[in-house]
Structure formats: structure tokens, C-alpha cells
A = this chain, B = another copy of it.
Amino acid sequence: MKISTLSLGDEVIYGEIVDTNVAHIASRLYESGFLLRRHLCVGDNEPDIMDAIELLASHNDFVIATGGLGPTVDDLTARSAARATGRRLVLNEEALAHLRERYRLMGREMLPSTEKQALLPTKISLIPNPIGTACGFIIPHKGCFLFFLPGVPVEMKRMLDETVIPFILSRTKQKTCIETRVMRVLGLSETHVENRIKELARPREGLTIAYCVSFPEVEVKLRCEGDNEARTKELLDTTAEKVREQLGDHVVAEGGETIDTVVAALFREKRVTLSLAESCTGGLIAAKITDLPGSSAYFLEGAVTYSNETKTRRLQVPAELLEKEGAVSSATAMAMARGIRKASGSDIALAVTGIAGPEGGSEEKPVGTVFLALAGRSDCTAKRYQFSGDRERIRRMTAFTALDWLRRHLISLPDDEER
């Protein structure tokens, strides 16, 4: 089964955006038991798009193309696909009806030029787009199925899952069954993760392990392929269990879960309320917590206290303490956590203070020095971390570490001493 992808668009070719679509498609194909063979990318011009379609159609069973389905003049995909496959371009009534309905739902007026999005090749099947204006389409051509999807990631992902992958699965008689499992690991480097579990792979029995860094997490992907479904599942299950044993509580989430959703579920389950006091992360942790619907059930309050004066006024951190220990210190972190907990009346409070850089570091407290503190009704603990990288990396690492503290506290695990 040969499957390739094609990205269309000047923004990719000009280096204006990093194309994340191919990684997502490759990853979803992999989970469905297919390997992506090639990925090709060309800009918004008809001869190049036509060449690319010709080239890929003649070497593959399926081609998944993304981009260039929008309403503007540089969206040339439909026209080029029609020419490359010897089709005419017609106003597709079904696509037009969809377009009108989307505009009606958005309460916006549809400009005549928008109709261009419904100008599609003849002899195609539409790919419904439940969340955007541009429909996708499937062209069967020279024994290959060409899928055309919008480049907008959120729309592309839905259409890939709802139409493209089921279509490919229905057209392929897979002799083998394939099961996959994904685990997200925090606090260990990729090499450390690999060293702990690589021996568990059984390539000859169809079980492989892949690693992928999504900073600061490492994603571990187990994949098992075999003729017998029950045996395949069992091998995957027992291996997953061994991976959990080896990686311990560094496994922060499995399957479709993330550390955010795991922490959210724990807060609801344990009926614990939270408040936050952030200095160097400046609201990032609160933003992550409130990114999930329903967070108002446990998240009472967040304070972003950048200045010393605000720390004192808002969180009752004593001015003498700030003077003596410094704003970036274990004592200040604890005072911040206690202060916000008392003010908000939450069950627990988490505070963070640190130096995200690039300025503000010293020999004693270099850039990347971060203190976290967690206060409960009667106890408070703090810990110093030394993170590395640029401002964004340090802030991101701090936010993930904070979420992991909450996770560990909620499941009553000891703090991670190995990090």
C-alpha cells in the first residue's frame, strides 16, 4: 500500500509557516497501520501543482493533498487538479449549498468571490468539512485515489479522521491487524526513556517502539502488528504494562489524554479546588488550566504578580522576606502559595517564581532558576529547579512541571526526585 502526501501553498514553500500537517497525517496513518512513503511540497503555481499530482498519482495508491482550497486567487488546487486529471471545473451544487449554510451559521454575508470555493473538478466525491467553508474532494485517477483537503489544521484533521482514513481502510484488505498505544512521558530525556524500554521491543513478533519528543514530553508509541487480533492485543497490553513498570510515574498520560486533561479529571474526581500565583510564567499555567471546559469547577483564582510590590500587596509576601531572600527564592515561592491560598480559600495553591531570561540572571541564580511551591491547608513545600534553553522553553518547562506537581499531589505520589 503506497501512500504519499502533498502540501500545496506558497506559505510552505516561502518558509512562512512550518508545515505541521504532514507530521499529523503521517502519525495518524501510522496509527492506522500505514506508513507514509513520500511527502512532496510545491508552491501556488499551476504547472508545479500539476507536475506534482502527475508524479505522485503514478507512483502511489493514495495521495493526500492539503492546502490551496481557499477563496483567494492564489488558491489554485481545484483548478490544477482538474487540469492534471483531465477534468472540467464546474460549480458543485453540493459544495455551494454547504458554503451558503456555513455563512448562514456564521451570520456573515457571502461575497460573490467566495463562490469560487465551490468550483470543483467533475467526477469527484466530496469530503464533508463539518467545521469550515471549503469542502474537500476525492479524485480517482489512474488507479490512484487523490484526496484534497484544506490546509487549515483543525479542518484537515477532522476530515482526515472522518473520511480519508476510513476510506483508505475500506479499500485495503489488511491481512494483519494493527494496534497502537501512545504514552506521554515527562521528566526523562529521550535517550533515558529509550535506554529503559528499548529491550521490550519484539520486532520479529511485530511489536515496535517509536520515540518522539514534543518538548518537554517524550511520546512513546507502541505498535503491534499480527494475524491474530487477540494475540496482538495481548502482546501490546503486556508490553504496555512493562513500559509502565520501567518508566513509573514519569508516564503522565496515555491514549488521547494529555497532562492537562489528566490533571483536570483528578481535580474533579478528588473535589479539590486550586488557586495559582505566577511570576515568571505570567499566566501561562492559568491559561493551560482554563483551556479546558469546566475548569471553573475547581479553579478559583489566579494571580500574576510580576513586581515585588504586587507580591506584597496581593499575596502578603512580607517586604522584608523579598528584601532578604529575593523574589526568586524558595521562601518567596512558599509565601506566594500560602498567600493566594489564604485569600482564595482554595484547598491547594501553587506558586511559581523564577528567571525566564534572557536578562535577570546572576551567578548564584542563573537564567532558568525556578522555584515552585505547593501549599495545602496545613503544609507547604517548595523546590528549586534549574531549566535550560530560551525564555519560551523555560516558561514551557515550568508550566509542565507545575502541572506535574499538581498531578503527583492529587494522586498522592511522592515528588519526583530524579528530575
Binds B, one of A230-238, A254-262, A293-301: A293-301
CB of A41 within 8 Å of the partner chain: yes
Q: Is the CB of B111 within 8 A of A195?
A: yes
Q: Is the CB of A16 within 8 A of B210?
A: yes
Copies of this chain present in the complex amount to 2
Binds B, one of A79-87, A303-311, A329-337: A303-311
CB of A316 within 8 Å of the partner chain: no
Among A58-91, those with CB < 8 Å from B are: 70-74
Which residues of the other chain, B, contact A293 by a CB distance below 8 angstroms?
A: 356-359, 391
CB of A285 within 8 Å of the partner chain: yes
Q: A48-B38, A113-B191, A291-B392 are in contact. Are A310 and B300 (CB under 8 A)?
A: yes
Contact with B along A1-43 (1 / 0, CB 8 A): 0000001011111111111101111111110000111111111
Which residues of the other chain, B, contact A310 by a CB distance below 8 angstroms?
A: 300-301, 344
Which residues of the other chain, B, contact A55 by a CB distance below 8 angstroms?
A: 55
Binds B, one of A138-146, A165-173, A211-219, A241-249: A211-219
Q: Is the CB of A27 within 8 A of B14?
A: yes
Q: Is the CB of B302 within 8 A of A290?
A: no
Q: Pick from B15, B108, B395: contact of A291, CB below 8 A.
A: B395
Q: Is the CB of B301 within 8 A of A10?
A: no
Binds B, one of A119-127, A276-284, A376-384, A406-414: A276-284
Q: Is the CB of A13 within 8 A of B36?
A: yes
Which chain B residue lies CB-closest to A303?
A: B303
Among A342-391, those with CB < 8 Å from B are: 343-344, 356-359, 386, 388, 390-391
Q: Pick from B17, B195, B303: contact of A212, CB below 8 A.
A: B17
CB of A163 within 8 Å of the partner chain: no
Complex CA gap A299/B42 in Å reads 43
Beyond A282-B302, A290-B304, 13 extra complex contacts between A and B, CB < 8 Å: A10-B212, A12-B23, A14-B36, A16-B221, A17-B214, A18-B20, A37-B48, A72-B211, A283-B290, A283-B304, A293-B357, A299-B306, A301-B303
Closest 9 CB pairs of A and B: A282-B290, A15-B27, A15-B26, A283-B286, A302-B304, A283-B283, A39-B41, A16-B212, A283-B287
